[in-house]
Amino acid sequence: MAKVIYPYLSGKLDVDFLATKQHLVHLLHYRIAFYTHIFSSLPVLLSGVFLFSKTIQRQLPGLHRNIGKGYVGLVLLFAAPSGMVMAYYANGGVGAQLSFLLATPLWWWFTWQGLQTARQRNFVAHRAWMMRSYAMSFSAITLRASQLFLNEVDWVDPAYHYVVVAWESWLLNLGIVEIYLKMKIEADLN
């Protein structure tokens, strides 16, 4: 993701993804949303490495709490709200827009529930909600990997590539998390 974000440090409005948004870059609210979204994404994604570490959770609970507060604050206040603005203008037409317009409030809600369950000291539910939240965060990586994969196959019409990856990027991640959680519950019952 750092490699993806780096070109935007130049402030140029015609690089990479923004080259496809020339009809929007003149809109101040879009530029603010775009830069807020991409520059909050790297710390959000990196924090998952630390937040899901059992070692850090057990041996350095204060570090876990502080990184978690940063993650939650970035998602709730910056990444998800700016993602909602971007979703409205998503490439791929209505199909992709609907995907992101559904994914973004889910991401915010999962993160909010994770915060609430931590405050209630219900750490089993907290972990489940935060796994869902991070699955949504990780959709940025899944989307890019899926784009690379679809560019190499010819069984998906190129006109629908972005719609497919828009849905797949978060449904796949969330599906994996839900399967894991269901298997964990079943294993704990036995």
Domain count, the chain: 1
* pLDDT at residue 55, rounded to an integer: 94
pLDDT at position 130 is 98
Q: How far apart are CA 190 and CA 83, in angstroms?
A: 41
- Amino acid of residue 106: L
Kindly report each contact of residues 84-89 with a partner whose C-beta sits within 8 Å and lies 24 or more positions away, as own/partner. 85/29, 85/30, 85/33, 86/30, 86/33, 86/34, 86/37, 89/21, 89/24, 89/30
The answer to whether the beta carbons of residues 126 and 114 sit under 8 Å apart is yes
Confidence of residue 157 (pLDDT cuts 50, 70, 90): confident
Hey, what are 20's tokens? 């496809």
Residues with Cβ within 8 Å of residue 187, at least 6 apart in sequence: none
Contact 107, 86 (CB under 8 A): no
Q: Model confidence over 107-117: pLDDT tens digits? A: 999 999 999 99
pLDDT in tens, 158-169: 778 889 999 999
What digits encode the pLDDT tens for the residues 99-148?
Answer: 999 999 999 999 999 999 999 999 999 999 999 999 999 999 999 899 88
The structure tokens listed for 24 are: 């929007």
Mean of all residue pLDDT scores within the chain? 92
Interatomic CA distance for residues 150 and 144, integer angstroms: 10
Question: Which residues make Cβ contacts (< 8 Å) with residue 156, sequence separation at least 6?
Answer: 150, 164
What pLDDT was estimated at residue 75?
A: 98
Q: What is the domain extent for residue 130?
A: 2-189
| Measured distance CA(166)–CA(97) in Å, rounded | 8
